[in-house]
Structure 1
Amino acid sequence: MDSNLYRYFYESLNSHDDVQKLSEKYNVCCGTLSSILNQKVVEDVKKSHYRFKRKEDKIVNEWRSGNSFLMLSQKYHYPATLISTLILENLGHSKKEIRLFYKNPKSIENNRIQNELLESLNADYFFSPRAHQLQEEKGKIGENIISFWLKKKSCDFTCEDEMRAEGCTGKTPDFLLRKSIKISGREVCWIESKALFGELKEHRNYEKKQFNEYADCFGEGLVIYWFGFETDILKEKSEGYQIADFEFFKKDVPEHVNKFLNYVIYW
């Protein structure tokens, strides 16, 4: 995706309603737009964290005055789960207690907190335990498609979990091929699956912390950004790996890929 178009989508996406509208208008799959929206929300939270923390006492006092977790989330444009966590910590609950509350909100004796927490968790598609679970499921779907494709090609490989079980303690790619395969005229020894949109800034972090190390340890590799990537990445990426997206697998396993492209973290 051209970087200018990516920036347009990034600025235009503010809610899941925008995902559907832009998907229909520009014929871009919902999964790609949902991924961009999720990355935007996470980045906004990182940028605003310290400003938000300065308002902590004010927010807690507003909650004591009757404003719900969700009302405060909407007022301060901050994820409902994180608002809930801040207030619960100020009420004296430990991180362990709060994790238990999130796992089973109905165990909370205080009816107000129980009702407000249930409301918040149901409204937060980015930071709630359910959202994190679905993100993990999305990652597994991408890996399962690659595994299916490799088996279809009769490739012998080891996945990351198996490498860990065998005692590997260093950084490992999602798939290590026991025998390299040729892709675009180059021998590929490993594959890394990223169930997200490849944004340039985040790609640089992955390259530094993962891709370059994989290339040094295992040789040439292939990085899959399932929901597309900024084309500017191709202008500055290092040697040692290729980059592809869903199109690479679509001709071989179209039914799996098409379903994945419309995967949206929403319930």
Structure 2
Amino acid sequence: MAAGCLRPVPLRLLRRPSPSPNMILTKAQYDEIAQCLVSVPPTRQSLRKLKQTFPSQSQATLLSIFSQEYQKHIKRTHAKHHTSEAIETYYQRYLNGVGRNGSAPVLLELANEVDYAPSLMARIILERFLQEHEETPPSKSVINSMLRDPSQIPDGVLANQVYQCIVNDCCYGPLVDCIKHAIGHEHEVLLRDLLLEKNLSFLDEDQLRAKGYDKTPDFILQVPVAVEGHIIHWIESKASFGDECSHHAYLHDQFWSYWNRDDCNQAEIQNSKKLKKACL
């Protein structure tokens, strides 16, 4: 969670009392977890092993770090999986595999073997299949619709293969996107309730858009508050782990525009650059 001016507000300052103490992950602890993930495949079994290795960390924290580190890996290797040679190789291996046993998890095993996200491998094969069997190239909206609902795929074997990839992918795909959206909404509702509980006057995202703002934080405080010596003008809820890379991206994509518009103190924004850990 980030708050104006670009300084995260620890939820412990707003959260209702809970039976367990809040955990703050240090940079060293984060680096240790990230290093452990270098050679770990993105499977549920790996997540269980990760929890056993770091029992003091919550499942939600480990899953969020796991997902972010894996997404970084996928971005680094994305291009090599989308060359024409790679696509044709994957497609022929898929055809050979289902030709031998159509009920075996051919696509899922192929994705794991080449270290690529199952949902993204399913997209590659689905696009290649439709290019071969349809008169016109499939649109992105058609592909997305079929991935969300594999029963729309005109080939039953491929539909089953795609379904297996979607439900076994814990980092990518329409199922993961739906879960992330739900969690994000849940955190925004929680934050709203906490602000109301503290009798803080605010404008939410919908109210700000009605006033003509195009980029808005989740909440702007109508009366700024002081937190740990910093004046807080706005709060942005992020339901994912706030690593340093994420903070830089959020600064570029969102937070700088909030600061420019709301004319926050330059000293405070400079302090935020020194952030090296997430307050969860």
- The answer to whether the Cα contact below 8 Å between 2:242 and 2:278 also exists between their aligned partners in 1 is no
Q: TM-score, length-normalised on structure 2?
A: 0.74
Unmatched tracts of structure 2, length 5 or more: 1-24, 99-105, 132-137
Distance across 2 between alignment mates of 1:153 and 1:16: 39
- The verdict on how the C-alpha distance between 1:3 and 1:16 changes in structure 2, with shifts beyond 3 A counting, is farther
Shift of 1:94: 3.1
Deviations 1:59-78 (A, max 9, x none): 11111222532121121111
- 1:76-115 to structure 2, matched below 5 A, reads 76-91=114-129, 92=131, 93-115=138-160
Q: Which has the higher contact order (CA 8 A, sep 6+)?
A: 2
Larger radius of gyration: 2
Q: Does structure 1 conserve the Cα–Cα contact (< 8 Å) formed by 2:117 and 2:172?
A: yes
* CA distance in 2: counterparts of 1:235 and 1:165, whole angstroms: 31
Question: Which one-letter code corresponds to 2:30 in the other structure?
Answer: Y
Secondary structure class of the residue paired with 1:167: coil
Secondary structure in 1 aligned to 2:97? coil
Residue 134 (str. 1) matches residue 165 (str. 2) = no
How many angstroms apart in 2 are the aligned matches of 1:132 and 1:157? 29
| Residue in 2 that maps onto 1:12 | 36
Please report how far the alpha carbon of residue 202 of structure 1 lies from its aligned counterpart in structure 2 after TM superposition: 2.4
1:44 aligns with 2:68: no
Identity %: 25
Structure 2 matches for 1:1-267, cutoff 5 A? 1-13=25-37, 14=40, 15-24=43-52, 25-54=54-83, 55-66=86-97, 68-91=106-129, 92=131, 93-169=138-214, 171-220=215-264, 237-238=272-273, 245-246=279-280
CA contact (8 A) 1:70 1:80 kept: yes
- Calculate the aligned-residue CA RMSD, in Å: 2.5
* TM-score computed with the length of structure 1 as normaliser: 0.78
Structure 1 residues 15-24 or 210-219, which shifts more? 15-24
CA distance in 2, matches of 1:236, 1:188: 13
Q: Supply the distance in 2 between the matched residues of 1:29 and 1:139 (Cα, whole angstroms).
A: 18
Distance 1:127 1:31, change over 3 A: same
Q: 1 CA distance for matches of 2:128 and 2:119?
A: 14
8 A contact 1:80–1:123 mirrored in 2: yes
Moved over 4 A (4+): none
